[in-house]
Structure 1
Amino acid sequence: MSIKFSEYGYYPALRIRAAELEGLENIDSARRDKIVPLLTLGQWRGSSDLSTGMDKCVAANRNKPFLLDLTTDSRKIEDQWNSLRSPADNFKNWLDFSRAYKSKGAIPVVLLPPGARVREVVQQACAIEEEYGSVAFRVQDFAGQTPLVISAISSLKDPNSAIVFIDCQYIRDAMAAYVAAAISTINRLRTEFPRLLISVLSTSFPSSTLQFADAMKMRGTIGMLERDFHSRIGGDRVAIYGDHGSIHAVVYDDGPVVMKWSPRIDFPEYTSWYFERRQSTSNAQAYSECARAILGIYGVAYDMENSNIWGEQKIVEAAHGDPYGKSPAKWISVRVNIHISRQIDYKSRIDLQMDEEYEE
């Protein structure tokens, strides 16, 4: 399985969690063929190892290719996590684990744990290149991991087989700082490899939408900063656009469940998220009210009654009195599905405009 990374114009990064996988699974085949998602494996809720999450992951991907990364969060899976992250025998455990899912589309990302020696990382990358024909790196610690990536790419048979994801994670609170850090990291990499393929990942979806709500706390619009961020680092001529699929980058799953929630439906546009929320004794009624409000505003503009986007279909069904879910997780799936579909379409629209301009 050899992936030519340059053929893809959008890279969504998701975690292997129920809501995110469901959103990905329900992307139609035509759109799904235009992406190779970067999926991070972690503990599946209620499971004490990583195998359950991987089984759910391969089922959701329907044998289509995806990049497999490993969480940095070891809670509840510490023994297996330590084993997979171990650099012993040049990360043999990680390579063996990933190989078991190769026929299902998995391509392992090069692991860069603290304390790993340069030679171990280099040998891991070379082994992935040899077996898969392409190599992916994910940089989150810019200062610590970038030198390792440079050494590993220098040792590849074909540096053009590699892609480096510069993952800035949550950018809303420090946009300028992340722009500067991303540009600096890109420059370091391109100084060594001028033709290196790079994708920049970020998210601006907040942990709470209340600060963006109106005075009645019933609706609001959240500006999507990911596209602005991508533009500031130089756009497509510098790096491929990527994001976290409208998911906040910080995981709170394992904390005490004390946060109250109100029914809310988010509607992703191309460069913003609109939401409707309600406080009601009936969650089913509240979700239907949210859906009707969204359909009233966006139904005609996006031809939602005839949409081929699964998430939009679920909003239409809820507006007609049949809500897909009565808790937040199902509606996160809807948001993820619409967001990724919308960004795939956005990229296709940009490519079409460029082709038309070129022909003129």
Structure 2
Amino acid sequence: MNLQGPQLLDALRYIPSIRSRQAELRGFSELRPETKDAIHPIVSLGKNGRMDQSERVVEAIAQRVGQCFLDLNTYPGQACSDWERLCDPANAYGNWRDLLQRANGVTPVALLREGVPGRAFVRQVILLEREFGAVVIRSRQPAQDLAAMQAALSAVDDVNNLLIILDLGYIRGAVDPKETEARRIISALRTTDPTVRVCVTSSSYPKAVSVYGEFQGSLEIIERELHAQIGGDEVAIYGDHASIYPEPFEPVISRFVPRIDYCLEYTWLYHRRREDAGGYAECARQIVASADWDPAFANDVWGAALIARTARTGVVEPGFGSPANWIAVRVNMHIERQANLAASIAEGIEELF
């Protein structure tokens, strides 16, 4: 999306949130050019494979994603080696602002850190607005962060330069309380300024899918339900975590079961097969044989095309013998579907896919 400042913020209909992990960047990088032009993702700067130097990861993000909102991942095990230096609130988060200044094509996310005096945060927001023309605040604890967000909202020169993202985290099984929280926070923010832009983002993709069906299953994309219950595009921009479980967790070392996901507008489908039952090739064949398979989608979209190729040839392509690149496939299809759906909702037309 080749826009800046308020013009960029005005054009947003869908904000996918991804991390700088290799799989997520790969999935995004394989989007169709027209899809990339229609969205502006928020990317959390953290490790990229074995690469954990922030400057180098920023370069990888620029190559794979291009223009984006840049946030900082501070989760243990996912953060860059110098994350504490970047989080230092001294000089209104001067180290973070310096890194942003050296990064091309980014719109900054102001760091909102627990236990840090509100003055440093608000000063950071003011300086980022002045230096970049627009600034984003992302809150993962909206109720706790409300006072800080209201202070920043009152401090900016122009509310049109500000976007507030309420990240509600994992919502499966908790839609009603999350809806209540989102409504309350949005109401409070718009009491401070009725024109403030708000995005509500969340994820319902689970940590493990096997509990929903050992060999196959379907999962409703509950992010869309939550967004509709809040009031849809009239109230907030739609955001999600691009079909990724949003909370940090310690991976369990175990033998994986090959699985391929297929993304629809409102549902994720998956098939799992052990290696001795056909593995990834059989998963691909089952998906292509299903009533939900869309050949037109596979003609245009990298992730679906790879599933079709695997089903047709029975050959698992190099790099796709383990889960990571199949995560990229899912991320790719999910963003394509949601970007198209967001555009069709905004324009009141039938979806292309």
TM norm structure 1: 0.90
Provide the aligned length of Structure 1 versus Structure 2.
Answer: 343
1:95: how far off? 0.2
The counterpart of 1:34, out of the listed 33, 38, 43, is 38
Matched, 1:114 2:114: yes
Distance in 2 between residues matched to 1:311 and 1:334, nearest whole Å: 4
- The residue number in structure 2 matching 1:221 is 218
1:131 deviates by 1.6
The answer to whether the 8 A contact 1:175-1:229 is kept is yes
SS in 1 for 2:331: helix
Aligned twin of 1:328: 323
Kept in 1: contact 2:141–2:168 (CA 8 A):
no
What's the offset of the Cα at 1:292? 1.3
Aligned to 2:180: 180
Report the AA paired with residue 62 of structure 2: V
1:79–1:219 CA distance, 2 compared to 1 (3 A): closer
Given the alignment of the two structures, is residue 265 of structure 1 paired with residue 260 of structure 2, yes or no? Answer: yes
* Amino acid in the other structure paired with 2:172: R
Asked if the contact 1:266/1:274 (under 8 Å) is kept, the reply is: yes
Percent of aligned pairs with the same residue? Answer: 31
| Residue deviations 1:218-259 (CA, integer Å, cap 9, x gap) | 21111110100101111111101110000001233xx36423
Label 1:76 to 1:248 Cα distance change in 2 as closer, same or farther (>3 A).
closer
- 1:34-66 CA-partner distances (Å, limit 9, x unpaired): 1110111112332343333222211101xx320
Equivalent in the alignment of 2:67: 65
Which deviates more from structure 2 when the two are superposed, residues 336-345 or residues 49-58? Answer: 49-58
What SS does structure 2 have at the residue aligned with 1:323? coil
8 Å contact kept, 2:143–2:181: no
Q: How does 1:345-360 map to 2 (within 5 A)?
A: 345-353=340-348
Over residues 97-136 of structure 1, what are the superposed CA-to-partner deviations in whole Å (9 max), with x where a residue is unaligned?
11111x2x22220101122222211221111111211110
Q: How does 1:216-255 map to 2 (within 5 A)?
A: 217-252=214-249, 255=250
Structure 1 counterpart SS, 2:38: coil
Q: Secondary structure at the match of 1:303?
A: helix
Distance in 2 (CA, whole Å) between partners of 1:298 and 1:332 is 22
In structure 1, C-alpha distance between the alignment counterparts of 2:171 and 2:321, rounded to whole Å: 30
Q: Is the 8 A contact 1:298 1:304 kept in 2?
A: no
Q: Does the alignment pair 1:308 with 2:303?
A: no
Q: Does 1:296 align with 2:300?
A: no
- What's the CA shift for 1:298? 4.9
The one-letter code matched in structure 2 to 1:169 is G
Question: Which of 296-305 and 333-342 deviates more?
Answer: 296-305
How many Å apart are 1:155 and its aligned residue? 1.3
Q: 1:201 and 1:23 mapped to 2: Cα distance?
A: 19
CA separation in 2, counterparts of 1:342 and 1:207? 21
- Aligned partner of 1:97 in structure 2 is 99
Find the residue that maps to 2:290 and give its secondary structure. Answer: helix
Gap change, CA 1:27 and 1:91, over 3 Å in 2: same
Distance apart, 1:76 and its partner CA? 7.8
Q: Is 1:56 matched with 2:50?
A: no
Partner Cα distance (1:166, 1:312) in 2: 31
Q: Which amino acid aligns with 1:345?
A: N
Give the CA deviation at 1:83: 1.0
The residue matched to 2:206 in structure 1 has which SS?
coil
Q: Cα gap change, 1:348/1:331 in structure 2, threshold over 3 Å: closer, same or farther? A: same
Rounded to whole Å, the distance in 2 between the matches of 1:50 and 1:162 is: 25
Secondary structure of the corresponding residue to residue 33 of structure 1: helix
- Does the residue aligned with 2:244 lie in a helix, a strand or coil? coil
Cα distance in 2 for partners of 1:243, 1:195 equals 22
**Deviation, structure 1 residue 346:** 0.7
Distance in 2 (alpha carbons) for counterparts of 1:42 and 1:301:
35
Separation in structure 2 between the aligned mates of residue 161 and residue 43 of structure 1, nearest angstrom: 29
Distance apart, 1:328 and its partner CA: 0.6
